[in-house]
Chain A
Amino acid sequence: MGKKVLLIEDEPNIIEAISFILSRDGWEVKTHANGHDAMEAVRRRAPDLIILDVMLPGKSGYDILGEIREDADFAETPVLMLTARGQTRDREMAERAGANRYMTKPFSNADVLAAVRALVEA
């Protein structure tokens, strides 16, 4: 059984695509589709890596990342942020909030896979 990835994303098609790519590479993929209770999903799943969308219904990805970093159990968990808003300001906000990696949609599948691997192995 591979390492556990929690994907927090609200767009069903994107969830399906990322799940497909990571599963095929041997990752155990858990998904969560809204912002409200994302932190609870993190605690429940205790993932090795979190892939986090910025625009989520209920709570923004930045706020969720803040909560993750405040929680001692997950302060060191690598987080890959995905955003559809490709502005420099968003990248800065993500880095300030403590994201380990930041990727702009649309992405290449290979890049996502490489990033996930690199973040977990590091």
Chain B
Amino acid sequence: MSNKNSIYGIILLTVIWIILRESIDYLTVIIGVIVSICCIYFCRKLIPLPKTPKIKFLRFMIYLLFLFGQVYTAGFFAIKVILTDAHIEIVEIRTKMSSMFFKTILVNSITLVPGSVSLGLQGDKITVLWLQQKTKDACGESIEKADEILIGKLQRMLIKAER
């Protein structure tokens, strides 16, 4: 772990310590910093942060907000599907992301959005379990557009966040 990442880690852990201690006096902050330094020191070999690619912070925050909105949009659609008639499909979609870090974020985002759970990531291929509304044409057209429906917008926003 680089020095810059260590400092970010210490700040984050100290903030969590203050929240859990429910006080912000000097003693709490000092003990928090010492405990955080110890944690980072002993775990430095376990956290592979130097491999993390550079991220455009603001774009990434916009992505997280968009993902939060998507969770609710997909949630309301899932309610409709659950109350009518559900149909599940295992589809394979391809991602354009190059870095493994962003691919992992994309796959986790797919699982976080209600109505889809990722089953595997192999190279550029993502296997997704997909909840759909049952239709007469057995969702044939939807499967062809699965890439766009499942990861289209998320992927475009994530590419913008990649530096």
- Asked if A and B are interacting partners, one says no
